[in-house]
């Protein structure tokens, strides 16, 4: 198969795992730049050692922020946009604009989702530089890119059937093809530079500490500058939308919502007054109120599902109205199903639910 390029990928293939289905409170947050965002070709300095570029994207997200950290003799890029012409054109505008004089020294991927690493390999190749990721993100990305096949595996059918979808819907979901991840990510370098929890990266005048979270993705890296009080948060902390937390086919019995809630508790040990630079939305103050809102909203929804389980048994698909604030169908079925299973698995893990399987369909009961 030909390697995909930014020109070869059509925007309708550009589904990401970063869509949100759940309303959460943003009370207590302040946005120093309001709803301003840097325009095409422009970098905006937001603190000592960090500049902001905005990369437009199709779909409900509309953009990803790329954070450029001062490094020895250039900028380190954190997150790069998808493998789409719209995103590579935004980078070309930067190379002709505010990045005309400054080379890229390294490329970070906070996590494996295609809107974050879709153009990472493209940037690494262009600047002959390394890709820096956590091992969990790197290996999972490489695994997904390598998994290209003509038809969805049987285990996918079984997982969707288990969630409660009927055979026709499962066939429709599987009919979208398999291996689309590889089509959304530019060829990755064969080697990478590993970052891990607690690493302190020397970037010239600044040091950035790696802070790892989990649940939205396996080993999501945030970068913290303790001197300037800046946290590059990727999708681990977003100001306006809740990050998708899904059970995936590669780990169908996992408890990612448990990982997510544990990560929130750990992040609450970071200073409350950090400037948070998220992958989607605007930079903000209010890390702690936001983490608490995200945590409390998940607990509220867990309680709602648990209350309903006391009334009747539920499949994952029965949980949608209890969990989500918008209709589920078509392109968002996979993500919504994964997130509903994540809530049911959390209830099982904390002893509030048990599961029976009847004709391949998983029914959850109050325990
Ligand atoms: Zn993501």
Answer yes or no: are the C-beta atoms of 263 and 215 closer than 8 Å.
yes
* Residues 6+ away with beta carbon under 8 Å from 190: none
pLDDT for the residue numbered 107: 98
Distance 234 CA to ligand 1 centre (A): 8
Q: Is the pLDDT of residue 14 over 50?
A: no
Which position has the token pair 């939205």?
216
Q: Which residue did the predictor score with more confidence, 182 or 49? A: 49
Domain assignment present for 1: no
Q: Is residue 3 part of a domain?
A: no
Residue 358 three-state SS: strand
Half-sphere exposure of 59 (CA within 13 A, CB side): 25
Look at the block and give the residue holding tokens 């630079």.
Answer: 277
Query: Which tokens hold the place of 233?
Result: 């948060």
Ligand 1: distance of its center to the CA of 167 in Å?
29
| Ligand 1 center to 82 CA (angstroms) | 12
Collapse the DSSP code of 28 into the 3-class scheme (helix H, G, I; strand E, B; otherwise coil) and give the result. coil
In a domain? residue 6: no
Q: How many beta carbons lie within 10 A of that of residue 121, not counting itself?
A: 21
Predicted pLDDT at 125: 98
Banded model confidence at residue 10, pLDDT cuts 50, 70, 90: low
Q: Is 210 part of any domain?
A: yes
Q: How many CB atoms lie within 10 A of CB 348?
A: 16
Q: How many residues does the chain have?
A: 367
Q: Is residue 238 part of a domain?
A: yes
Average pLDDT, stretch 209-228?
98
Ligand 1 geometric centre to CA of 183 (Å):
17
Average pLDDT over residues 63-74: 97
pLDDT tens profile 77-118? 999 999 999 999 999 999 999 999 999 999 999 999 999 999
Question: 15: CA distance to ligand 1 center in Å?
Answer: 11
Number of domains making up the chain: 1
How far apart are the C-alpha atoms of 263 and 218, rounded to whole Å?
A: 11
Average pLDDT over the chain reads 93
Report CA(252)–ligand 1 centroid distance (Å). 19
Query: How far does the centroid of ligand 1 lie from the alpha carbon of residue 216, in Å?
Result: 6
Residue 132: both structure tokens together: 């820096």
Query: What count of Cα atoms within 13 Å lies in the side-chain half-sphere of residue 145?
Result: 21
221 inside domain = yes
- Give the global pTM: 0.94
pLDDT at 188: 96
What confidence score (pLDDT) does residue 65 get?
98
Residue 19: pLDDT band with limits 50, 70, 90: low
If you measure from the C-alpha of residue 18 to the centroid of ligand 1, how many angstroms do you get, rounded to a whole number?
5
Percentage of the chain modeled with pLDDT above 90: 84
Ligand 1 centroid from CA 257, angstroms: 15
pLDDT, tens only, 301-326: 999 999 999 999 999 999 999 999 88
Q: How far is the CA of 293 from the centre of ligand 1 (A)?
A: 19
- Supply the DSSP string of 74-105, one letter for each residue: EEEEE----SSHHHHHHHHHHHHTTTTT--EE
Distance 113 CA to ligand 1 centre (A): 5
Q: Which domain holds residue 204?
A: 11-366
pLDDT beyond 80 at 135: yes
| Average pLDDT value for residue range 63-82 | 97
pLDDT of residue 179: 82
Q: Which helix (H) or strand (E) holds 144?
A: helix 135-146
Instruction: Tell me the CATH number at 148.
Output: 3.60.15.10
What's the CA-to-centroid distance between 144 and ligand 1, angstroms? 15
Top mean-pLDDT range of 18-27, 148-157, 169-178, 299-308: 299-308
Helix and strand element counts for the chain (H, E): 11, 15
CA of 356 to the centre of ligand 1 (A): 32
CA of 111 to the centre of ligand 1 (A): 7
Q: What's the 199 CA to ligand 1 centre distance in angstroms? A: 22
């Amino acid at each position: 198969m030909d390697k995909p390029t930014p020109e070869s990928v059509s925007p309708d293939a550009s589904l990401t795992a970063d869509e949100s289905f759940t309303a959460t409170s943003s009370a207590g947050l302040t946005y120093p730049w309001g709803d301003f965002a840097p325009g095409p070709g422009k970098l905006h300095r937001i603190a000592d050692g960090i500049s902001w570029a905005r990369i437009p994207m199709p779909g409900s997200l509309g953009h990803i922020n790329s954070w450029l950290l001062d490094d020895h003799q250039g900028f380190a890029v954190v997150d790069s946009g998808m493998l789409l012409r719209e995103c590579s054109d935004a980078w070309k505008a930067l190379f002709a604009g505010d990045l005309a004089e400054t080379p890229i020294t390294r490329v970070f991927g906070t996590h494996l989702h295609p809107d974050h690493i879709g153009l990472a390999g493209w940037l690494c190749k262009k600047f002959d530089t390394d890709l820096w990721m956590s091992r969990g993100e790197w290996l999972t990305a490489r695994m997904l890119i390598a998994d290209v096949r003509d038809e969805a595996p049987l285990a996918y059918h079984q997982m969707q059937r288990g969630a409660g979808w009927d055979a026709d819907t499962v066939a429709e979901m599987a009919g979208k093809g398999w291996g689309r991840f590889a089509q959304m990510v530019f060829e990755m370098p064969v080697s990478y530079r590993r970052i891990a929890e607690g690493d302190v990266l020397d970037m010239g005048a600044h040091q950035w500490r790696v802070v790892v979270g989990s649940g939205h993705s396996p080993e999501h890296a945030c970068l913290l500058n303790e001197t300037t009080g800046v946290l590059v948060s990727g999708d681990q902390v977003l100001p306006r939308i809740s990050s998708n937390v899904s059970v995936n086919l590669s780990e169908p019995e996992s408890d990612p919502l448990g990982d997510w809630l544990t990560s929130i508790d750990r992040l609450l040990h970071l200073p409350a007054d950090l400037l948070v630079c998220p992958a989607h939305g605007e930079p903000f103050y209010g890390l702690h109120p936001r983490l608490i809102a995200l945590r409390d909203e998940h607990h509220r929804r867990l309680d709602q599902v648990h209350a309903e389980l006391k009334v009747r048994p539920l499949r994952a698909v029965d949980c949608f109205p209890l969990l989500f604030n918008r209709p589920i169908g078509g392109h968002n079925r996979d993500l919504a199903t994964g997130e509903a299973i994540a809530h049911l698995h959390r209830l099982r893990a904390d002893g509030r639910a048990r599961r029976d399987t009847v004709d391949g369909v998983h029914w959850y009961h109050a325990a």
